[in-house]
Chain A
Amino acid sequence: MEILKVINELFNIPSTKIGEEYIKELAKRISRLLGVKYVMVGRPSPCDPQIIQSDTLWAGDHYGDNFEYHLKGTPCLEVVSDERICLFDRGVAKLFPKDLLLGEMCIESYGGAPVKTADGEIIGLLVTLDENSMKNRELVHAVLESCSGRLGAEYSRMKTEQKLKSLNKELEDKLEERTIELNKANRKLLGSDKMNSVSTLVTGIAHELRNPFNITVNSVHILKDLLSEEALKNKEDLDEVVGIIEETSLRTNILLDSILEKVTTGNEKKKPLGGILIALQEEFKALYPEIKIDLEVSNISGVLLPEVTLSRVMTNVLKNSADAINELVAHEYGQMNPVVSIVALGGNAKIELTVCDNGIGMSESSRNKIFEPFYTTKSIGKGSGLGMYMVFNLLNGLNGSIEVNSKKFEGCEVKISIPLLERAL
Chain B
Amino acid sequence: MSKKIVIFVDDEPLIHQLIKMKFRREINEGKFELISYYDGEECLGKFLDGTHVNVDNMILFSDISMPKLDGINMSKEILALHPRLDLYLISALSMDEYKEMAKERLDVTFFKKPLDFSKIEEIILNK
Contacts and interface: CB of A to CB of B under 8 A. Distances in A.
A248 interface: yes
Nearest to A229: B25
Contacts of A207: 92-93
Contacts of B27: none
A214 B115 CA distance: 7
B121 to A, nearest CB: 10
Secondary structure class of chain B's binding surface, majority of residues: loop
A241 interface: yes
Contacts of B11: 287
A247 B68 CA distance: 25
Contact of A218 (B15, B24, B67): B15
Nearest to B68: A326
B38 A237 contact: no
B18 interface: yes
Contacts of A326: 68
Interface residues of A, number: 25
A326 B40 CA distance: 15
Contacts of A382: 65
Contact of B92 (A214, A218, A222, A240): A214
Contacts of A241: 18, 21
Contacts of A240: 17, 21
A382 B67 CA distance: 8
B68 A222 contact: no
Contacts of B114: 213-215, 217-218
Secondary structure class of chain A's binding surface, majority of residues: helix
B105 interface: no
A232 to B, nearest CB: 15
A304 B21 CA distance: 34
B99 interface: no
Contact of B12 (A211, A217, A219): A211
Q: Most chain-A Cβ atoms within 10 A of its Cβ — which of B21, B24, B38, B118?
A: B21
Contacts, number: 55
Nearest to B39: A287
B117 A218 contact: yes
A215 B18 CA distance: 8
A214 B21 contact: no
Contacts of B17: 240, 244
Interface string A52-84: 000000000000000000000000000000000
Interface in A272-300: 286-288
Given A219-B18, A222-B18, A381-B93, A214 B113 contact: yes
Contacts of A381: 65, 70, 93
B46 interface: no
Interface string A222-261: 1001000000000001001100100110000000000000
Nearest to A217: B114
A222 B113 contact: no
Contact of A215 (B15, B22, B93, B118): B15
A69 B32 CA distance: 111
Interface in B80-119: 92-93, 113-115, 117-118
Interface string A370-406: 0000000000011000000000000000000000000
A136 B11 CA distance: 108
Contact of A247 (B14, B38, B39, B67): B14
A35 B70 CA distance: 93
B118 to A, nearest CB: 8
Given A214-B92, A214-B113, A244 B18 contact: yes
Given A214-B113, A217-B114, A381-B65, A222 B14 contact: no
A210 interface: yes
Contacts of A288: 67
A218 B65 contact: no
A136 B17 CA distance: 118
7 contacts: A207-B93, A214-B92, A214-B113, A222-B18, A222-B117, A241-B21, A326-B68
Interface of B: 11-12, 14-15, 17-18, 21-22, 24, 38-39, 65, 67-68, 70, 92-93, 113-115, 117-118
A-B pairs with lowest CB-CB distance, top 6? A217-B114, A214-B114, A214-B113, A221-B117, A218-B18, A215-B14
Given A215-B18, A221-B118, 18 more contacts: A207-B92, A210-B92, A211-B12, A211-B92, A214-B92, A214-B114, A215-B14, A217-B114, A218-B117, A221-B22, A222-B117, A241-B21, A286-B38, A287-B38, A287-B67, A326-B68, A381-B70, A382-B65
